[in-house]
Amino acid sequence: MTISQTRNVGLPLMKLVRWKGVPILQQLHLEEQLLRTSSENWCIINDGTNDPTIVMGISGKPAQLLKLDSVLNDRIPVIRRYTGGGTVVVDCGTVFVTFICNKDAVPGLQPYPQPIMSWSSLLYALVFRGFGDFSLRENDYVFGNHKFGGNAQSITKNRWIHHTSFLWDYEARNMAYLKLPARAPEYRVARDHLEFICRMKDYMPRSVFVDRTIKAVETYFSVRPVQLEAMETNLNSKFSHSTKLLTEQELEAAAFESHFEKGDSRFVNVINESALSGQEK
Amino acid sequence: MALRMWASSTANALRVSCASKAHVSPAFSLSRCFSSVLDGLKYATSHEWVKHEGSVATIGITDHAQDHLGEVVFVELPEPGGSVSKGNGFGAVESVKATSDVNSPISGEVVEVNSKLSEAPGLINSSPYEDGWMIKVKPSNPSELESLMGPKEYTKFCEEEDAAH
- pLDDT in tens for each of the 281 residues of chain A? 555 555 556 899 999 999 999 999 999 999 999 999 999 999 999 999 889 999 999 999 999 999 999 999 999 999 999 999 999 999 999 999 999 999 999 999 999 999 999 999 999 999 999 999 999 999 999 999 999 999 999 999 999 999 999 999 999 889 889 998 888 888 988 888 888 999 999 999 999 999 999 999 999 999 999 987 545 645 566 788 899 999 999 999 999 888 877 666 555 555 555 555 554 44
CA distance A60 to chain B (A): 10
The amino acid that residue A256 corresponds to is F
CB B108 within 8 A of CB B3: no
B97 vs A151: CB contact, 8 Å cut-off? Answer: yes
- Percent of chain B at pLDDT exceeding 90: 75
Residues of chain A with C-beta less than 8 angstroms from the C-beta of B162: 110
CA distance A113 to chain B (A): 6
A153 vs B162: CB contact, 8 Å cut-off? Answer: no
On the 0-12 / 13-18 / 19+ scale of CB atoms within 10 A, B160 is exposed
pTM for this predicted structure:
0.86
CB A178 within 8 A of CB A169: no
3-state secondary structure of A161: strand
pLDDT at A240: 85
| Residue of B69, B74, B87 lying closest to A112 (CB–CB) | B69
Burial state string for A221-246 with b = 16 or more CB within 10 A and e = fewer than 16:
bbbeeeeeeebeeeeeeeeeebbeeb
B28 vs A118: CB contact, 8 Å cut-off? Answer: yes
> Nearest Cα to A27, choosing from A217, A222, A161?
A161
Helix orientation angle between A113-128 and A206-217, rounded to the nearest 10 degrees: 120
On the 0-12 / 13-18 / 19+ scale of CB atoms within 10 A, B1 is exposed
CA–CA separation, A17 and A23 (whole Å) = 14
CB B69 within 8 A of CB B77: no
